[in-house]
Structure 1
């Protein structure tokens, strides 16, 4: 992780901007996140039916704001099992004080992991 991103890892929220899949208009949401390297992981409790997930599936170019920094990025649904587990554990550790060897809570175990590849 770059020093710039490492300094932002403790922020409570990120702000994701997607383009509407029908309207093309920007849509901004506040969301929990965790960073690993230049990838931000997010989780969708509504799975693939969440509007923001449907938007980024149609148009993967997104904006991500963390703290006072804005990044251009590319979004994707996490499909690799190992990366999926990493995303779940990172977010559970940050927001639910999860520790290795303990079971994940329901949200962390069932929400859809999404990766945001930040362009530095």
Structure 2
């Protein structure tokens, strides 16, 4: 069973670290997210052309920083038109649409949804 990270649900962003598929170096990005139980949902506006998505496709183990805490997790691309796809888009849109002055309709509809199941906290 994963780790419940719900206490971070209202944070504006998290830090996602992936291992570069060619360099082998750790790459960290700041990214919007939504949390439900032990899962983080992210949307990639660049879809599968984003480097971090390509890195996840090569190696699904990732690290996440939420607040001052670090976690390990396993990422996967969410299957299109699945219940999880609908959930991910809804959770992220519900969190960020009210906070943004930009129209996020296309972004929330057209982005590639990614799920990260948090496995454990890194001490």
Q: Same fold (TM over 0.5)?
A: yes
- Report what 1:119 is aligned to: 119
Give the ranges of 4+ consecutive aligned residues of structure 1 lying more than 6 Å apart after TM superposition: none
- 104-113 or 3-12, which deviates more: 3-12
Map Cα deviations across residues 67-118 of structure 1 (whole Å, 9 max, x no partner): 11110000100016110010000000000039xxxxx711000000000010
- Secondary structure of 1:119's counterpart equals strand
Give structure 2 stretches of 5+ with no counterpart: none
Q: What is the TM-score of this pair, normalised by structure 2?
A: 0.87
More helix by share: 1
Alignment of 1:1-120 (within 5 A): 5-79=5-79, 81-97=82-98, 105-120=105-120
Q: What is the CA–CA distance in structure 2 between the aligned matches of 1:53 and 1:11, rounded to whole Å? A: 22
Count of aligned residue pairs for this structure pair: 114
**Paired residues of 2:89 and 2:113 also in contact (CA < 8 A):** yes
Q: CA offset at residue 3 of structure 1?
A: 9.0
- Secondary structure of 2:5's counterpart equals helix
Q: What is the CA–CA distance in structure 2 between the aligned matches of 1:10 and 1:3, rounded to whole Å? A: 17
RMSD: 1.9
Q: What is the CA–CA distance in structure 1 between the aligned matches of 2:42 and 2:84, rounded to whole Å? A: 12
Q: What is the TM-score of this pair, normalised by structure 1?
A: 0.89
Map Cα deviations across residues 10-36 of structure 1 (whole Å, 9 max, x no partner): 110010000000111000000000011
Q: What is the CA–CA distance in structure 2 between the aligned matches of 1:50 and 1:33, rounded to whole Å? A: 16
Give structure 1 stretches of 5+ with no counterpart: 99-103
